[in-house]
Amino acid sequence: MLPDPRSAELPADKMPAEEVACRERLKTLGVEFEEHKAEHDAEIGCSIPYPIIMKTLGKSIGIGAGAELNCRMAEAAARFAAEVIQPAAKAEFGADLKSIAQASAFVCRPRNGGGKLSEHAFGNALDIASFTLSDGRTIQVGPVPPEKDANFLNTIRKAACGPFKTVLGPGSDPDHALHFHFDLEPRRNGGTFCQ
């Protein structure tokens, strides 16, 4: 198996202009984050040259501790939280999205059941286990949620297919029974894989 070409992308002395611009966009979105040192494991092939640790997903939207992502994925997650999850929470429950509980961000590992590296190995994926609202309600991602929760979760899942290139969750396979997996894996012809 050939190593993923992204594993060779080690940081130069100076951060590329696109990385700087991405961080400016995050600040505009109200995302709080901190820079993190590059992660690289040539043997496995994992690489995240300019990682950030997200503290919030935007103005008053928290995210569980240790969400280490590449900037592009962080921006996609923040935009999705503001443009899709927040309005869906208001529409379905009449409450604001307070935070999401992330189950996994950067992890240097292959896909479950396969030799190919997971998008988590590039900080290019985010797993979401639950959503907490301003009224204290928590909506868990799971196989048989209550009806109102199911409507909200279905709205999120359907809307994720497009902004994210891979969307998995309960029913797609046993590994994704208790969380949503969103990633930006480049696909042929710009397509998406949603289950």
CATH code, domain carrying 94: 3.30.1380
Instruction: Give the integer Cα–Cα distance in Å for 195 and 78.
Output: 22
Region 13-30 average pLDDT: 92
What 3-state DSSP class applies to 193? strand
Alpha carbons 100 and 17: distance in angstroms, whole number: 30
- Tens of pLDDT, residue by residue over 54-87, are 999 998 899 988 799 999 999 999 999 999 999 9
pLDDT at 160 > cutoff 50? yes
What percentage of the chain carries pLDDT values higher than 70?
90
Long-range contacts of 166-173 (CB under 8 A, 24+ apart): 166/119, 166/125, 166/192, 166/193, 166/194, 167/192, 167/193, 167/194, 167/195, 168/194, 168/195, 169/141, 169/195, 170/141, 170/142, 170/143, 171/143, 171/195
Confidence tier at 2 by pLDDT (50, 70, 90): very low
Give 25-49 pLDDT, tens digit per residue.
Answer: 999 999 999 999 988 887 888 888 9
0.95 surpassed by pTM = no
* pLDDT for residue 157 is more than 70: yes
The pLDDT value recorded for residue 1 is 45
The pLDDT > 90 percentage for the chain reads: 63
Task: State how far the Cα of 148 lies from the Cα of 131, in Å rounded to an integer.
Answer: 13
As for how many domains the chain has, the answer is 1
Of 42, 69, 41, 51, whose CA–CA distance to 128 is shortest?
69
Residue 96's domain comprises 5-194
